[in-house]
C-alpha cells in the first residue's frame, strides 16, 4: 500500500475482474483514492488472524459470519454481493473437452496432460472433493500443477497445464484463454460472497460509499460480464 490516505479494500479474488475493469476507477472518480489487495479467502482469513488492518472486506459468507461473530466486522454494514460458480478453461484456440456430465468430465480430466487448481481458494478445495467423488484424485494429482494462490489460468499461457479450474470470474482475469464451461450438475458448488466494513475501519464514510457504489443496481452488468450473479 503506497497511499496512506487511500481507502483499503481486502478482497477474495472472485470480484477482481469487474473491479479492475471499471468499479475501482468509478470509485476513484467519485470519492477518492482506493487500494485493493486480492487474496483467496482462506489466505485472507489467516492474514486477518495475524492482525491485518483494513477498511472494507469481501469474503465468502461463512468467512463473513466468522468475522462478525468475532467482532472484527460491523454486521450492520454487511451486504450480499455475488454468487460465483466453478468452471474450466483452456488456452485460447485449443480444443474444448466435453464436460457436459460427470462421466464426460471424468474422461476429460483423465485425458488432460496437466491440470491446474488453486490450493488456497474455495474452488480448489471443492475441486478436490469432486476428484474424490469421481474416483480419480490420485490420477489427476499425479499430473497436476496446483498453485498456493493466484490465477490458475496463467498456467495455460505458460504451457504448464492444458486445463485450469477456478471460479469462472477468476479464470476470466487472464487474457488469452477460453472458458470451457462450468462444473456439471450436482458437482457444481455455488459460492456466495458478501462485503462489509471492518469494525476498526480507518475511514468508515469512504468505506460505506464503496459498499453502496458496488451494490448499486447500475453495477449489475459489470459483474455479469465476468460470469457472476448479483445478490442485490
Share of the chain above pLDDT 90, in %: 92
Please report, for the chain, the start and end positions of each structural domain, with discontinuous segments joined by +.
7-83+192-230, 86-187
pLDDT tens track for 160-184: 999 999 999 999 999 999 999 999 9
Query: What architecture is the 7-83+192-230 domain classified under in CATH?
Result: 3-Layer(aba) Sandwich (3.40)
**What is the 3-state secondary structure of the chain?**
CCCCCCEEEEECHHHHHHHHHHHHHHHHHHCCCEEEEECCHHHHHHHHHCCCCCCEEEEEHHHHHHHHHCCCECHHHCEEEEEECEEEEEECCCCCCCCCCHHHHHHHHHHCCCEECECCCHHHHHHHHHHHHHCCHHHHHCCCCCECCCCCCHHHHHCCCCEEEEEHHHHCCCCCEEEEEECCHHHCCCEEEEEEEECCCCCHHHHHHHHHHHCCHHHHHHHHCCCCEECC
pLDDT tens track for 5-59: 999 999 999 999 999 999 999 999 999 999 999 998 989 999 999 999 999 999 9
Q: Is the model's pLDDT at 1 over the cut of 70?
A: no
Place of cell 495475524: 50
Asked if the domains 7-83+192-230 and 86-187 are classified in one and the same CATH topology, the answer is: yes
CATH 3.40.50.1980 fits domain 86-187: no
Q: Is the model's pLDDT at 229 over the cut of 90?
A: yes
Amino acid at each position: 500500500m503506497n497511499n496512506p490516505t487511500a481507502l483499503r479494500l481486502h478482497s477474495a479474488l472472485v470480484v477482481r475482474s469487474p473491479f479492475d475493469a471499471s468499479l475501482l476507477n468509478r470509485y476513484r472518480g467519485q470519492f477518492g483514492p482506493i487500494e485493493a489487495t486480492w487474496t483467496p479467502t482462506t489466505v485472507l482469513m489467516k492474514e486477518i488472524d495475524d492482525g491485518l488492518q483494513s477498511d472494507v472486506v469481501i469474503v465468502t459468507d461463512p468467512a463473513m459470519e466468522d468475522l462478525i461473530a468475532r467482532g472484527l466486522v460491523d454486521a450492520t454494514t454487511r451486504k450480499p454481493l455475488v454468487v460465483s460458480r466453478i468452471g474450466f478453461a483452456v488456452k485460447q484456440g485449443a480444443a474444448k473437452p466435453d464436460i457436459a456430465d460427470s462421466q464426460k468430465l471424468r474422461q476429460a480430466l483423465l485425458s488432460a496432460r496437466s491440470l491446474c487448481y488453486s490450493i488456497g481458494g474455495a474452488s480448489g478445495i471443492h475441486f478436490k472433493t469432486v476428484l474424490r467423488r469421481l474416483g480419480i484424485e490420485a490420477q489427476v494429482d499425479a499430473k497436476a500443477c496446483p498453485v498456493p494462490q493466484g490465477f490458475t489460468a496463467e498456467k495455460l499461457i505458460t504451457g504448464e497445464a492444458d486445463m485450469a479450474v477456478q471460479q469462472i470470474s477468476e479464470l476470466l482475469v487472464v487474457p488469452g484463454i477460453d472458458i470451457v464451461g462450468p462444473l456439471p450438475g450436482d458437482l457444481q458448488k455455488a459460492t456466495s460472497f458478501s462485503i462489509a466494513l471492518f469494525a476498526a475501519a480507518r475511514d468508515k464514510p469512504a468505506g460505506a460509499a464503496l459498499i453502496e457504489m458496488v451494490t448499486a443496481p447500475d453495477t449489475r452488468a459489470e459483474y455479469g460480464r465476468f460470469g457472476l450473479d448479483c445478490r442485490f
